[in-house]
Chain A
Amino acid sequence: MMVMDRSNRATAPTAPAPGAQAEATAEATAGVYGPLKISAQGVDVFYGDKQALKQVDLDIHENQVTALIGPSGCGKSTFLRCLNRMNDVIESARVRGTILLDGQNIYDRDLDVVTLRARVGMVFQKPNPFPKSIYDNVAYGPRIHGIGSGKAELDEIVATSLERAGLLKEVKDRLHEPGTGLSGGQQQRLCIARAIAVNPDVILMDEPCSALDPIATARVEELIDELRENYTIVIVTHSMQQAARVSQRTAFFHLGELVEVGDTEQIFTSPRDERTQGYITGRFG
């Protein structure tokens, strides 16, 4: 069950947690970055009795790629799943704190989670196309949200989405063959096409390349860079090279805490925290 602690909402923004230099960094560079898209304030996540995230404050800006890095089990995927409330489906998960999407708390009781997920799309670690045709995979989202009435309009949406995901050329002759018949890299791009077909503001990517070979990975990374123009992207990755290649901002998580957040270049060249230093130089993780 999801439990929102409302008392935290009022206090979190005014009383920044210790080590929240992230806030300061964000404010200082707000001019450079686009407008604020998502603002997480004092987010705690519990799985049963175990606390997976501790007082995370993180700002995510529009039209840029924010990478979440950190060793396994550090809570970066957990945080990502808070952003579209995918943790709701986990029985034992509890989330506390505030996450503002365009200034509105997504954990507000009045907020419709289906609408939220239409605005915040997600791509998973393992490509998970529906066992349906390529066309139906992409058209599913628009269909359930009533976007694109009529076949012509839906065809248009499917074609644009596949085009944007860089997959149209490869599949346009076999749109009605099963999506599960594609290669791993193509499947992942199909999942990206599926996510952008409902025209979200934000795309969350949970290690989208970890099941792909280097060539498919390069293709997806290229795609992420192109998508940045129209979407806000948050990506969890295990590969620091990938974070360095695709992201403009990087947040380093360790043991459920947000250790450091800043410009990707700054994080990789002159980290402020020694844990970040240790991780990016490969001393642990």
Chain B
Amino acid sequence: MTDIAREGHRGRPAAQHADLSQARLRRRYAAERRFKLYGVLAICLAIGVLGILLFSVVSKGYTAFVKTEIGLDVYFDPEEIDPEGTRDPAVLADANYDRVIRDAFERTFPEVSERRERRALSDLVSSGAWLVLRDRVLEDPSVIGTTERVWFRASDDVDMLMKGYIPRDVPETARRVSDAQIAWIDALDEAGQVGTRFNLDFFTAGDSREPELAGIWGAVVGTFLTMVVTLVLSFPLAVATAVYLEEFAPKNRWTDLIEVNINNLAAVPSIVFGLLGLAVFLGWFGLPRSAPLVGGMVLALMNLPIIIIAGRASLKAVPPSIREAALAVGASRLQVVTHHVLPLAMPGILTGTIIGMAHALGETAPLLMIGMVAFIVDIPSGFTDAATVLPVQIFLWADSPERAFVEKTSAAIIVLLGFLVIMNALAVILRRRFERRW
């Protein structure tokens, strides 16, 4: 080495020596630039794919946040609603409001007389439209006998037509809306009797077989209940486990074995946890099917290794000097942990927990196994009620044949992604807020 260096010094002309190092310098710079370029390309690719995904979801889903409405001049016919004039709420609630709507259509299109055509005409509004009339009458019985413009939710086919998802230029037999119906809609549209409005019901209604009536509130409540169970079960258990293994347990073959198994559990496919839940929680413990309680328990099992691993990592990251300082003033081991180590590790543990919860929020497979895939219309009111969760709701809607469920599916995905973004943002904020330097 020294010989070569000396040789270079003496034997070669200085210019050649410089040239050589210049070339090497250039190569080094080129290599660094290339590496940087690969990195930038990879990030661009990732952002591009993510952008395509988001664009596809949002462009398909945003229309679900508005609904098409049809305005009709309704004559609240006393003969139909309250023939005896008692104004008894029970009678009012029981009246045949479908008939009232049909009459309103007939007055708007008096030329329609054939029975089948009349049926097709009243199919323009949702089968749940009569509820609007009933609520209006119950709220203010004095409308009976008057005429009022009432806006009804359009049926899913009309909704799709107005949003442009059903093409008008294909043969009549190839689409779900007939030529006559299109003509009526266009006539109504021209008269200003077709409008769009924000679809609040999407956020407040439960699931339904009618796409225009289906909402995600049931799934959101189910998700919330499930997540509560998951958090309450997994967080304290996981933190206690992490603290014990990291701070108190002796390092021997048993703890090594436990550590290996925890790491393995984090990699077990989630459907296996679902099967375990089915066999143990449903089969053996006899807990109710489709309940958020069981869903939460299964997800908690899945979550445990994730939080334990994150917790141990952040406990390990607390500098030993802090532990020594506390021990040296006479703190017991438990006091060292609860007064110093745990508070310092908490931001990391919370971040791990939130990421684990976000993971659980998007989980579908294990919940299929324990029956949370059922079609449930009611909003769950407790941990043992039958319920479904957002990702399962997405799965169910994606499986439905109606065209209108496509936009519902995408809209539900947008809501789910929104929750995930909020949770991850929360993790970042918590970490920033509580991170302490020493």
Contacts and interface: CB of A to CB of B under 8 A. Distances in A.
A229 B436 CA distance: 38
A197 B251 CA distance: 34
A180 B272 CA distance: 48
Contact of B328 (A124, A129, A145): A124
Contact of B250 (A91, A117, A124, A180): A91
B329 A195 contact: yes
Contacts of B324: 86, 89, 122, 124, 128
A126 B319 CA distance: 12
Interface in B317-351: 319, 321-332, 335, 339-340, 344
A126 B321 contact: yes
B254 interface: no
A1 B250 CA distance: 9
B438 interface: yes
Interface residues of A, number: 29
Interface in B399-434: none
A259 interface: no
A15 B188 CA distance: 113
Most chain B CB atoms below 10 A, which of A1, A129, A140, A194: A140
How would you classify the secondary structure of chain B's contact residues: helix, strand, loop or mixed?
helix
Given A91-B250, A91-B251, A126-B321, A118 B438 contact: no
Given A114-B332, A140-B339, A144-B331, A131 B325 contact: no
How many interface residues does chain B have, given as a range?
20 to 34
B325 A130 contact: yes
Nearest to B325: A128
Contacts of A194: 325, 329
B330 A141 contact: yes
A131 B437 contact: yes
Contacts, number: 69
Given A91-B251, A131-B344, A86 B328 contact: yes
A268 to B, nearest CB: 30
A207 to B, nearest CB: 13
B108 to A, nearest CB: 74
Contacts of B330: 114-118, 141, 144-145, 198
Given A91-B251, A180-B438, A124 B321 contact: yes
A84 interface: yes
A128 B327 contact: no
A117 B327 contact: yes
Contact of B437 (A118, A121, A144, A180): A180
Given A1-B250, A144-B335, A130 B322 contact: yes
A58 interface: no
Nearest to B252: A91
A191 interface: yes
B250 A131 contact: no
**8 pairs of A and B residues whose beta carbons are closest in the complex:** A122-B328, A118-B330, A141-B329, A128-B321, A117-B330, A128-B325, A131-B436, A131-B438
Interface of A: 1, 84, 86, 89, 91, 114-118, 121-124, 126, 128-131, 140-141, 144-145, 180, 191, 194-195, 197-198
Given A121-B329, A124-B324, A198-B330, 9 more contacts: A86-B328, A89-B327, A91-B250, A124-B321, A124-B328, A128-B325, A131-B438, A180-B437, A180-B438
27 contacts: A84-B328, A89-B323, A91-B250, A115-B330, A117-B327, A117-B330, A118-B330, A121-B328, A122-B324, A128-B319, A128-B321, A128-B324, A129-B438, A130-B322, A130-B325, A131-B322, A131-B437, A140-B326, A140-B329, A141-B329, A141-B330, A144-B329, A144-B335, A191-B325, A194-B325, A197-B329, A198-B329
